[in-house]
Amino acid sequence: MGDVALISAAAGIFGATGFMEYAVRGRSSRVFGPSVYRGDRTRPALALTFDDGPSESTPALLEVLARHTVPATFFMCGSNVRRCPSIARSVVAAGHEAGNHSDSHPRMDFRSPEFIYREMALAQETIHQTTGAIPKLFRAPYGVRWFGLRAAQQRLHLNGVMWTVIGHDWKWPAPRVARLLISYAANGGILCLHDGRTLERAPDIRATLDAVEMIIPALKERGFHFETVSQILCPKT
């Protein structure tokens, strides 16, 4: 069944508005293409993910992660990679995973399949050319998915990734962010934070840095270890 047929059939059952809201933004929705929001529930592994960078503020975060020897996954915007190419390279050089977070961070709803593909392809090309890494993961800006995403993901060999819990680190103080992330952390959890503010230069990510400093030791103490999203999804046995 194509996207349109599937959606109209389901909308008839669930009610159009509620269903579309879920289809577009629901963390477990696969309506517009394959997507995951957590990994293996049997392993005490967590993935820290950082969206909307790289930015001039990312090196401070790399320093924190290096000090704790924790790998993470960075969902990068292509336009930020072109602005901060050496920072993008240092993310990958430090052993972190690079994911695709579109080129200019638009909302994808009500956009054409061509627009969606171009946004994703341009970011993919930029990240590859700049860092040498070929992203395997895509996180939709604002978690908003739409018609055409499934085909674009397929064409670019990208797997959709949402999150188990999102930190609200762009607006909350660090202790509140840390409390939220710690309380929702469970086996295979994918935690979402931000090392950029969409396309903003030198954003203030103090709350993010402080929250990361708080959660890493607290979660290690609870028996968790940290992996990249690809490791969480395909654990080596």
* Least distance (Å) between residue 141 CB and Zn ion: 5
Which residues of the shown chain bind Zn ion in the complex (CB under 5 A)? 51-52, 141
Task: Give the Cα separation of 185 and 27 in Å (integer).
Answer: 16
Nearer to Zn ion, 51 or 195 (CB): 51
CB 160 within 8 A of CB 169: no
Establish whether 40 is a catalytic residue: no
Q: Which of 51, 52, 103, 195 is catalytic?
A: 51
Task: Give the Cα separation of 112 and 118 in Å (integer).
Answer: 10
Establish whether 51 is a catalytic residue: yes
* Least distance (Å) between residue 197 CB and Zn ion: 9
Pairing of strands 159-161, 35-36: parallel
| Rg of the chain taking only CA atoms, in angstroms | 17
Nearer to Zn ion, 170 or 226 (CB): 170
* Least distance (Å) between residue 188 CB and Zn ion: 22
Nearer to Zn ion, 11 or 172 (CB): 172
* Least distance (Å) between residue 139 CB and Zn ion: 7
* Least distance (Å) between residue 26 CB and Zn ion: 17
Closest residue to Zn ion, based on beta-carbon distance: 51
**Burial tier of 198 (Cβ tally within 10 Å: 0-12, 13-18, 19+):** buried
Nearer to Zn ion, 141 or 167 (CB): 141
The residues, any chain, with a CB within 8 Å of residue 221's CB and separated by 6 or more, are none
Q: Which of 96, 101, 105, 194 is catalytic?
A: 194
Nearer to Zn ion, 141 or 189 (CB): 141
Catalytic residue IDs: 51, 194
